[in-house]
């Protein structure tokens, strides 16, 4: 059996809240339970929204919770070459196309409101090659999207992955449409960076919130296309407050920093999270 390697992978676009702490505690403890390694990866691919002061707060929060990570802090902002290599490989396989659509255009094309990321209607997939070249040469900003139908056909394998709680899952990446792999405004998309890095960092167990469950279908496909191993996944329930609302940033959940600066005991808080939020008015959301 490979040594267990887990990671906590926050995006430094805001302060952490209790939901992040729960994820970090679970990932940390899973590694420690088997003498494995717990990595800290700062997902700062988004240069406009990532802030150094959020990174500082993340490091201070984790130390306060008593969670020590192994090795240096890993930064996605240093991994441009690795993402470029993966994109080049997918492009050479004929699986990427440039997309010139703006967010507003994509939103306008939706007949009904979707989740936070609408499924792309495929507008730019049909652009003639000459038109693509002309727009790129003219400097029109563009993302690169995965031609999902073609990618699934190319992978030509049973896209199975295993969740520690849900069991075996048959991936259905087609449901997510032509996802972006290279953004207009960032080094790579979340899907590409996380898949490339989990493999490069030897992560064997991906511990993260259930809100990313469906994203794993895309990651499993990318693993098949790029010849990368598939880790075991552990999507944990999201924490909800007394009102049943998820502790997401948008619900004004208290930040860990605010609790830390109030002088509360971080290690005791981590223990309460280990007990599923007992005594602090939060609980994992029931399925």
Q: Catalytic residues, which ones?
A: 249
CA atoms of 192 and 197, how far apart (whole Å): 8
In this structure, what are the phi and psi dihedrals at residue 3, rounded to the nearest 5 degrees?
A: -65, 140
Q: Regarding beta strands 232-236 and 96-99, do their DSSP bridges make them parallel or antiparallel, or are they unpaired?
A: unpaired
CB nearer ligand GLU, residue 79 or residue 208: 208
By CB under 6 A, tell whether 210 contacts ligand GLU: no
> How many CB atoms lie under 10 A from the CB of residue 252?
11
CB nearer ligand GLU, residue 166 or residue 212: 212
By CB under 6 A, tell whether 220 contacts ligand GLU: no
By CB under 6 A, tell whether 123 contacts ligand GLU: no
CB nearer ligand GLU, residue 124 or residue 255: 255
Residue 100, C-beta contacts closer than 8 angstroms, at least 6 positions apart: 124, 135, 140, 141, 142
Q: Taking CB under 6 A as the criterion, which residues in 161-200 touch ligand GLU?
A: 194
Tokens of 194: 């996380």
Cα separation values, 167 from 37, 161, 163, 232, 245, Å: 24, 8, 5, 10, 26
CB nearer ligand GLU, residue 16 or residue 270: 16
Q: How far is the CB of 147 from ligand GLU (least distance, A)?
A: 23
Assign 3-state DSSP to the chain and report helix, strand, coil percentages, each to 5. 40, 15, 40
Cross-strand pairs, 6: 38
CB nearer ligand GLU, residue 3 or residue 211: 211
Task: Indicate which single residue of 17, 21, 43, 152 sits in contact with ligand GLU (rule: CB under 6 A).
Answer: 43
In this structure, what are the phi and psi dihedrals at residue 177, rounded to the nearest 5 degrees?
A: 70, -165
Task: Identify which range of 8-16, 99-107, 135-143, 170-178 contacts ligand GLU by CB under 6 A.
Answer: 8-16
By CB under 6 A, tell whether 12 contacts ligand GLU: no
Task: Identify which range of 4-12, 122-130, 243-251, 263-271 contacts ligand GLU by CB under 6 A.
Answer: 4-12
By CB under 6 A, tell whether 77 contacts ligand GLU: no
By CB under 6 A, name the binding residues for ligand GLU: 9-11, 43, 194, 208, 212
């Amino acid at each position: 059996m490979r040594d267990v390697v887990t990671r906590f992978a926050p995006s430094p676009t805001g302060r952490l809240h209790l939901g992040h702490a729960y994820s970090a505690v679970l990932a940390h403890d899973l590694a420690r339970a088997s003498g494995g390694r717990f990595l800290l990866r700062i997902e700062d691919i988004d240069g406009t929204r990532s802030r150094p002061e959020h990174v500082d707060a993340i490091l201070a929060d984790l130390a306060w919770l008593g969670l020590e990570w192994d090795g240096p802090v890993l930064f996605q902002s240093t991994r441009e070459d690795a993402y470029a290599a993966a994109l080049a490989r997918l492009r050479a396989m004929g699986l990427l196309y440039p997309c010139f659509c703006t967010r507003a255009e994509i939103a306008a094309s939706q007949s009904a409101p979707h989740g936070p990321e609408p499924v792309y209607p495929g507008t730019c997939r049909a652009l003639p090659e000459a038109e693509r070249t002309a727009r790129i040469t003219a400097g029109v900003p563009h993302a690169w999207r995965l031609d999902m139908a073609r990618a699934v056909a190319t992978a030509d394998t049973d896209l199975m992955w295993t969740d520690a709680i849900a069991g075996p899952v048959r991936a259905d990446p087609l449901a997510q449409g032509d996802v972006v792999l290279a953004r207009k405004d960032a080094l790579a998309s979340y899907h590409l960076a996380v898949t490339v890095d989990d493999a490069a960092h030897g992560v064997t167990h991906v511990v993260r919130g259930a809100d990313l469950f469906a994203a794993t279908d895309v990651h499993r496909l990318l693993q098949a296309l790029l010849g990368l191993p598939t880790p075991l996944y552990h999507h944990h329930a999201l924490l909800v407050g007394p009102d049943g609302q998820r502790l997401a940033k948008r619900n004004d959940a208290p930040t860990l920093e605010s609790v830390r600066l109030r002088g509360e005991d971080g290690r005791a808080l981590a223990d309460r999270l280990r007990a599923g939020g007992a005594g602090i008015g939060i609980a994992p959301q029931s399925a």
